[in-house]
Amino acid sequence: MSRGTTPSQTVGPFFSLGLPWEDGPFVVPPGTAGAIRIGGRVFDGAGEPIPDALVETWQADPGGRFDHPDDPRGRGRAGFRGFARCPTTEAGAWEIVTLKPGPVPAAGGGLQAPHLAVSLFARGLLDRVVTRIYFGDEPEANAADPVLALLDDAQRATVIAAPADGGYAIDLRLQGAGETAFFLV
């Protein structure tokens, strides 16, 4: 007797029930000196905003250290969590409040450009998709980044946030024209 495959299931739309984060979109407390905003919108393959996605970020502090005991250079800045989780609005918008990260060591030497690691959860996905957000005002660091070097020009453009009033702006596109470069992890 042959057994058929089990039908697949998606991870949502249960984000508001199962994935709340006490500090939400705040990597640093409101009013922190030097805080910036990073945000944009999340779109599906048809170019429609996704109203119930979840954007999760993890990053180094401005000195390039992580708030984690396994950082070989020692723990980062006191009070800097390095983590945020933001659900999208009805218009697909998301935004986090953070400090701009510093460069971190690259495998084999050198430095990775300042960036945020991003996990995106949305209905229709069996697993999260993973990308990075780099900063458009870091051209020299970006040019030397070993991960960005793996992307062609069109892909690279999808992971570099543009300076905007009070921070940076970048849209995340799951499919279609201008699809964000996602990484296999």
For each of the chain's 185 residues, which pLDDT tens digit applies? 455 555 554 555 555 555 666 778 999 988 899 999 999 999 999 999 999 899 999 999 999 988 777 766 766 676 678 999 999 999 999 999 999 999 999 988 899 999 999 999 988 777 899 999 999 999 999 999 999 999 999 999 999 999 999 899 999 999 999 999 999 98
Give the total number of structural domains in the chain: 1
In a domain, 7, yes or no: no
In a domain, 9, yes or no: no
In a domain, 181, yes or no: no
In a domain, 105, yes or no: yes
In this predicted model, what pLDDT tens digit does every residue of 8-31 receive, in sequence order? 545 555 555 556 667 789 999 888
Angle at 154 between CA 41 and CA 127, to 5 degrees: 50
pTM of the model: 0.88
Residue whose token pair is 């109203």? 51
* Residue 166, pLDDT score: 86
In a domain, 5, yes or no: no
In a domain, 183, yes or no: no
Encoded amino acid at 25, one letter:
P
DSSP 89-134: -TT-EEEEEE-PPPPEEPTTSSEEPSEEEEEEE-TT-SS-EEEEEE
Q: Which two tokens stand for residue 13?
A: 């739309």
In a domain, 22, yes or no: yes
C-beta separation of 154 from 177 below 8 A:
no
C-beta separation of 80 from 27 below 8 A:
yes
Strand 36-43, strand 172-173: pairing? parallel
CATH number of the domain within which 130 lies: 2.60.130.10
In a domain, 83, yes or no: yes
**Range(s) of the domain holding residue 21:** 15-173
C-beta separation of 42 from 172 below 8 A:
yes
